[in-house]
Structure 1
Amino acid sequence: MNLTHPHPDLRERRSPEQDASPERDLFAVTAATSATGSAVVRALLDHGAPVLAVGRDRERLHPYAERGARTHVSPLDDEERLTAAVADATGAFVMLAPGFIPDSPDFQAYQRAAIAAQAQAVRNAYRHGRLRRVVTLSGWAANHPGASGPVWGLERLERAIDATGVPAVHLRAGWFMENLLPDIAAIRATGATGGLLPPDLPLPMVATSDIGRVAAEFLRGVRPFVPGPVEVTGPADRTLAEAVRLIGAAVGRTARYEVRTADDVRAALTAGGFSDHMADGTVAMTLDVAHGRIRMRRPAGTIVTTTTLEEFVRAAVTTS
């Protein structure tokens, strides 16, 4: 590729301060417009840290540029563009996104490509640039060797980044509170929601905003950087029954949770546009949680965050 006249998507936006201070830290954040990636970007910018936000859509990156961040357009499976993105970074946040592609006939193939591209970009920056630390968004599914479906790639991402030689912390976050957003919409519309998970199953619910703050603290050196996996969870395990009651009270409806069969969930997913491959994988992943195969191990050093389920539901109902 001729870099004398780079592709427009490879051009970065710099503030005058960043141009004048080439030796400053620079934190590259991939999937910067995803829920967790955006939380990392905001947490870094809130503390005045220089950020390079990497995403697939320049328009969605524009709000970060307005706050002084550099921006870079790249999908996660494009090694060349990602290498250009992290070349000058001293720290990087990497993750797999999107979390699923509904109509994909082979989601694992996409994850393999995204893992390989990000790992190679990290390896290049570590060997030839200034990169000295990486934080990955992994997940509690990485605790289960047989994890499948959309979470198949999490532990593989950890291993690929570790193989680059760069010191890396892997955030094995629990069950995202943002998974409740479709339930909020359903309860607001009909008073009911449901799924494969038992309503009384305690889940390690955690808000992505808290995960973003933790990741930013590791990148900035606020937290001791000890390479390896670290679990991240909310202040208490909560059940879907509790969540549904809170949502119902917040939207002013009597709400109920209906347990559904695997066949019913699979049929609903395919009717909604999921490929058979993605529907099967999503059901398998959910059953792994329901049957306790995906679970938190809670070793010493587990990070407990602060956002409660009540706070999350109140904010989500207000803004949705």
Structure 2
Amino acid sequence: MHVVVGANGRAGGEVALALLERGEAVRVVLRRKEQGAKWTALGAEVAIASIEDAGAMADALKSAAGAFLLNPPPVSGDPLVRTEELGAALADAAKRARLPKAVILSSIGAQHASGTGVIATLNRFEALLDKAAPATAFLRSGYFVETWSEVVKAVLTESVLPTFLEPSQKIPMVSTIDVGRAAASVLCEEWTGKRVVELSGPQDRSAGDVASAFTEVIGRPVVPVLVPPERRAALLAEDGVPAEVAAALLGMFEGIAKGLFTQQNDNEHRRGTISLTTAIERFIASAGR
């Protein structure tokens, strides 16, 4: 039995689906009972628990052969404080449940303790969960291709791709489909101690490449438009992003621009197979439902 935390999110959901496709027994951990019908229909067991509740999480992790754990994207408050709370709770829960194996979602660039905004919280998250299980793997993912779904309205209505990334800068990008498959694969492997697995897509990509992929999918030219740094905080505020969370997100883009979103040679490296166009076709289809 593999336990998946965050199954209703982008990455966690793909991990649960990938495990089920492999024929593995899966228990998903959800916050609310009404979220479970989809997973029950797919053949998964459902446990109800909040990540910050160490006792409930320990119950959800009991008898598991392994678990996929993550630090959910911040939505309010100080992201680092939130990371400390959630990381401590998950580590406590894993130890109470005597979890033998954990795959923990992180990010490329998490080797840096500062200078990378919200990614730096994953540096701390890794430290908190370093000894959560006898076998621990940190899955450092590239920039999610699915993040571009957040600007799909502008793409479809204005044929522009707003971006905080310099359009020609290539960075590791990966679809959450590949994240799910990689996490499921690692969970089904045997090892002891700590390992770091860095995951990127078939090729490193830029915002310009993403615009070209949108052009191919929708059949008309899409132009990447760099949002000036001085405009970004206001745009996030207009979208309802709290100031502390916005600062952490903007810090991430500053770190990427400075070249800190890079892999380390001494870690394991894997590449996914999902192309930009395949990922974009999927989330455009989802947006149209």
| TM exceeding 0.5 | yes
Question: How far is 1:54 from its partner?
Answer: 0.3
Q: For residue 106 of structure 1, what is the aligned residue in structure 2?
A: 78
Instruction: Please give the alpha-carbon distance, in whole angstroms, between the structure 2 residues aligned to 1:59 and 1:141.
Output: 36
Instruction: Please give the alpha-carbon distance, in whole angstroms, between the structure 2 residues aligned to 1:204 and 1:148.
Output: 15
Question: How far is 1:146 from its partner?
Answer: 1.1
Q: For residue 161 of structure 2, what is the aligned residue in structure 1?
A: 193
Question: How far is 1:297 from its partner?
Answer: 2.5
Question: How far is 1:64 from its partner?
Answer: 1.2
Unaligned regions of 5+ residues in structure 2, if any? none
Q: For residue 160 of structure 1, what is the aligned residue in structure 2?
A: 128
> Do residues 135 (structure 1) and 103 (structure 2) align?
yes
Distance 1:45 1:293, change over 3 A: same
Question: How far is 1:106 from its partner?
Answer: 1.9
Instruction: Please give the alpha-carbon distance, in whole angstroms, between the structure 2 residues aligned to 1:148 and 1:200.
Output: 20
Question: How far is 1:213 from its partner?
Answer: 1.0
**What letter matches 1:294 in structure 2?**
F
Indicate the percent of aligned positions where both proteins have the same amino acid. 25
**What letter matches 2:132 in structure 1?**
T
2:70 aligned to 95, 98, 105, which one?
95
**What letter matches 2:50 in structure 1?**
P
Q: How do 1:169-184 residues align onto structure 2 when only pairs under 5 Å count?
A: 169-184=137-152
Instruction: Please give the alpha-carbon distance, in whole angstroms, between the structure 2 residues aligned to 1:113 and 1:122.
Output: 14
Instruction: Please give the alpha-carbon distance, in whole angstroms, between the structure 1 residues aligned to 2:92 and 2:32.
Output: 22
User: Aligned Cα RMSD in Å?
Assistant: 1.8
Deviation by residue 1:63-116 (Cα, 9 ceiling, x = unmatched): 11122211111221111210111022121110011x120xx2322222211111
Q: For residue 177 of structure 2, what is the aligned residue in structure 1?
A: 209
SS in 2 for 1:135: strand
Q: How do 1:238-249 residues align onto structure 2 when only pairs under 5 Å count?
A: 238-249=205-216
Q: For residue 204 of structure 2, what is the aligned residue in structure 1?
A: 237
8 Å contact kept, 1:266–1:279 = yes
Greater shift in the superposed pair: 172-181 or 136-145 = 136-145
> Do residues 72 (structure 1) and 47 (structure 2) align?
yes
Question: How far is 1:288 from its partner?
Answer: 0.5
Q: How do 1:7-46 residues align onto structure 2 when only pairs under 5 Å count?
A: 26-46=1-21
TM-score, normalised by the number of residues in structure 2: 0.93
Distance 1:30 1:309, change over 3 A: same
Deviation by residue 1:177-199 (Cα, 9 ceiling, x = unmatched): 11111232211021112232110
Instruction: Please give the alpha-carbon distance, in whole angstroms, between the structure 2 residues aligned to 1:170 and 1:121.
Output: 18
> Do residues 288 (structure 1) and 234 (structure 2) align?
no
Distance 1:185 1:302, change over 3 A: same
Instruction: Please give the alpha-carbon distance, in whole angstroms, between the structure 2 residues aligned to 1:138 and 1:162.
Output: 12
Q: Highest Rg: 1 or 2?
A: 1
8 Å contact kept, 1:171–1:232 = yes
Instruction: Please give the alpha-carbon distance, in whole angstroms, between the structure 1 residues aligned to 2:230 and 2:275.
Output: 33
Instruction: Please give the alpha-carbon distance, in whole angstroms, between the structure 2 residues aligned to 1:61 and 1:117.
Output: 23
Distance 1:72 1:251, change over 3 A: same
Deviation by residue 1:116-150 (Cα, 9 ceiling, x = unmatched): 11111111122xxxx32110011113122215533
Q: For residue 237 of structure 2, what is the aligned residue in structure 1?
A: 270
Question: How far is 1:298 from its partner?
Answer: 4.4
Structure (1 or 2) with the greater strand fraction? 2
Unaligned regions of 5+ residues in structure 1, if any? 1-25
**What letter matches 2:149 in structure 1?**
L
8 Å contact kept, 1:231–1:302 = yes
Distance 1:285 1:300, change over 3 A: closer
2:97 aligned to 125, 130, 141, which one?
125
